[in-house]
């Protein structure tokens, strides 16, 4: 496995060799810095911890400052682990990993946090149709309808789709194709949409 941490910049479109437009998501992928290498002997599993997007020391807690000082890197906003990282034996602390680890045609999976929509009703959250707009009713147009049973089991079943907080969850999209890579600008163009809002952090795994 090989991967990077990135930041979603937005969507646009490009044209392929045959003139067909391809919708793409632009991601600022890396550079990421190796801040910790975990091994089976010391930690019980193999993983590489990467940091992304530098920040000021004044905005970093003292424990994290010690962590970054030990890795000989600058403080970063995001820290994430990648298990079973390819060629982890050849990595050392403070190594820089750039977007050129990907190439056009690669297939990746992207994980991000979906947009938080706040409290939402069943029509928006679960795409319910709502009640009929005739037969004398006037306040059931966006209502969920009956949620329970009468005599048995006489309670609302667990997991029933109802109104509630929508979005703001960890979402993974599989099999996204790398369309273009711009190593000079640390940009990665993926075909299709990725989870989250603009400027949201994403995890890209090959």
pLDDT in tens, 145-169: 888 887 888 889 999 999 999 999 9
Tell whether 35 and 136 lie within a shared domain. Answer: no
Separation CA 201–CA 129 (nearest Å) = 34
Tell whether 139 and 196 lie within a shared domain. Answer: no
Tell whether 123 and 107 lie within a shared domain. Answer: no
Q: Which contacts qualify for 24-28: CB closer than 8 Å, 24 or more apart?
A: 24/179, 24/180, 24/189, 24/190, 24/191, 24/192, 25/189, 25/190, 25/192, 25/193, 25/194, 26/187, 26/188, 26/189, 27/187, 27/188, 27/189, 27/190, 27/194, 27/202, 27/204, 28/186, 28/187, 28/188
Tell whether 76 and 7 lie within a shared domain. Answer: yes
Q: Is the pLDDT of residue 134 over 80?
A: yes
Count of structural domains, the chain: 2
pLDDT in tens, 50-96: 999 999 999 999 999 999 999 999 999 999 999 987 788 888 898 89
Tell whether 23 and 98 lie within a shared domain. Answer: yes
The model's pTM is 0.84
Tell whether 12 and 93 lie within a shared domain. Answer: yes
pLDDT in tens, 106-132: 999 999 999 999 999 999 999 999 888
Tell whether 110 and 183 lie within a shared domain. Answer: yes
Tell whether 31 and 127 lie within a shared domain. Answer: no
Tell whether 46 and 129 lie within a shared domain. Answer: no
Domain limits at 146? 118-166
Tell whether 76 and 17 lie within a shared domain. Answer: yes
The CATH code of the domain that includes 61 is: 2.40.30.10
Tell whether 111 and 33 lie within a shared domain. Answer: yes
Tell whether 127 and 199 lie within a shared domain. Answer: no
Tell me the average pLDDT of the chain.
92
């Amino acid at each position: 496995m090989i991967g990077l941490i990135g930041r979603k910049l937005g969507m646009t479109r490009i044209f392929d060799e045959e003139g067909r437009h391809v919708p793409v998501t632009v991601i600022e992928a890396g550079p990421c810095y190796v801040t910790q290498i975990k091994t089976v002997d010391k930690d019980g599993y193999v993983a590489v911890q990467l940091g992304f997007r530098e920040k000021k020391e004044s905005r970093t807690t003292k424990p994290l400052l010690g962590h970054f000082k030990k890795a000989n890197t600058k403080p970063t906003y995001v820290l994430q682990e990648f298990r079973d990282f390819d060629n982890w034996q050849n990595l050392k602390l403070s190594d820089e990993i750039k977007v050129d680890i990907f190439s056009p045609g690669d297939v990746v999976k992207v994980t991000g946090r979906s947009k938080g929509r706040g409290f939402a009703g069943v029509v928006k959250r679960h795409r319910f149709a709502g009640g009929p707009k005739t037969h004398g009713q006037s306040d059931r147009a966006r209502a969920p309808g009956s949620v329970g049973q009468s005599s048995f089991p006489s309670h609302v079943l667990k997991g029933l789709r109802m109104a509630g907080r929508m979005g703001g969850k960890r979402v993974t999209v599989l099999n996204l194709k790398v369309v273009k890579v711009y190593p000079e600008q640390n940009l990665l163009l993926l075909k299709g949409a990725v989870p989250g809002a603009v400027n949201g952090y994403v995890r890209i795994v090959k």
